[in-house]
């Protein structure tokens, strides 16, 4: 709630980083993966603090033992492969785009 009511960028960033760190602590508390550092760093030298969530993805992937699952490509979320507000804002368009993407996969 603090992030939504923040009056300034620094307040909003502090609230978002606090929320991300709470999620990282909960992830580690589950004990499903190796412990991942619970910290936020600057985003590639830019003045924005981020969780670097790829570390959590890597820790989760280390636990996947099914070869079929391990062979699937990591594509991320839709906004990582579709730079279109139509696709991101309209589920029907996103479904059509997904079908096109899947058609190109082995």
pLDDT, one tens digit per residue, over 51-88 is 998 999 999 999 999 999 999 888 777 666 666 677 66
Overall pTM surpassing 0.75 (yes/no):
no
Q: What residue segments make up the domains of the chain, in order of their start?
A: 1-72, 73-106
Tracing tokens 């609230």 back to the chain, one arrives at 15
Structural tokens at position 31: 């004990």
* Residue pLDDT, tens place only, 5-44: 999 999 999 999 999 999 999 999 999 999 999 999 998 8
Host H or E run for residue 89: helix 85-89
Host H or E run for residue 68: helix 67-71
């Amino acid at each position: 709630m603090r992030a939504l009511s923040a009056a300034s960028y620094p307040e909003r960033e502090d609230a978002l980083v606090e929320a991300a760190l709470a999620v990282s602590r909960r992830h580690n508390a589950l004990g499903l993966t190796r412990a991942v550092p619970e910290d936020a760093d600057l985003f590639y030298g830019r003045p924005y603090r981020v969780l670097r969530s790829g570390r959590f993805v890597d820790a989760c992937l280390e636990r996947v033992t099914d070869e079929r699952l391990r062979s699937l490509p990591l594509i991320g979320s839709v906004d990582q492969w579709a730079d279109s507000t139509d696709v991101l804002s309209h589920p029907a368009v996103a479904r059509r785009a997904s079908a096109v993407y899947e058609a190109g996969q082995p």
